[in-house]
Amino acid sequence: MKIIMLGAPGAGKGTQAKKIADKYQIPHISTGDIFRANLKEGTELGKKAKEYMDQGLLVPDELTLELIMDRFKNPDCAGGYVLDGFPRTIPQAEALTKALEEKGESIDFAINVEVPDENIVNRMSGRRACLACGATYHIVHIPTKVEGICDRCGKELVLRDDDKPETVKKRLGVYHDQTQPLIEYYTSQNKLAEVDGTQEMEAVFQNIVKILGA
């Protein structure tokens, strides 16, 4: 079962990807994890990626795709995978489709976790992080025992710049410009399935399980 997760930043697609991976015993593959693994292992592809990253440049689509296709060769991908964070644009999606077709394969589902922008802004602006130990909370959904203080280490919590409403709105703007067209792309391929991401996390997951038919 080969699955792509779509959804705006903060829609909860990463959480759902992990739950799918656990249930179906397939790897949750994120581009960030692939980059980190290749850099750590010092692979040839990792060295190439590092050259761009050291210059503060984006890793080119061709190299990112090469890293992903290389990851698919691992034995744990024999039963499929959940791909999270790629593709983000139509050219990436077309390149992925072509690379899979050359192996006689294709994506089975592109699952879009749909959440209105307003909900995402509210959801993310409620996040709080402990810079000391890395713990994360939410003022509504995962509150601390003492407001503004980390349960784990007792340090003060902060609202990260990434989670501030103005930053979230900018990120959503980029998402709608670049990634939203993927919804049309996978719809045209009869691969797209949408779930209402405003529901409770478990309800969203149960809807995904129904879509996957298992």
Residues designated catalytic: 13, 88, 127, 160, 171
Q: Cα(39)–Cα(137) distance, rounded to whole angstroms?
A: 30
Which residues, at least 6 apart from 137, have a Cβ–Cβ distance to it below 8 Å?
127, 128, 129, 130, 143, 144, 150, 151, 157
Q: What residue type is assigned to position 113 of the chain?
A: V
Left if phi > 0, otherwise alpha if psi is -120 to 50, otherwise beta: which for 25? Answer: left
Residue 109 to residue 18: CA distance in whole angstroms = 16
Residue 51 CB neighbours (<10 A): 11
CA-based angle 202:204:207, to the nearest 5? 110
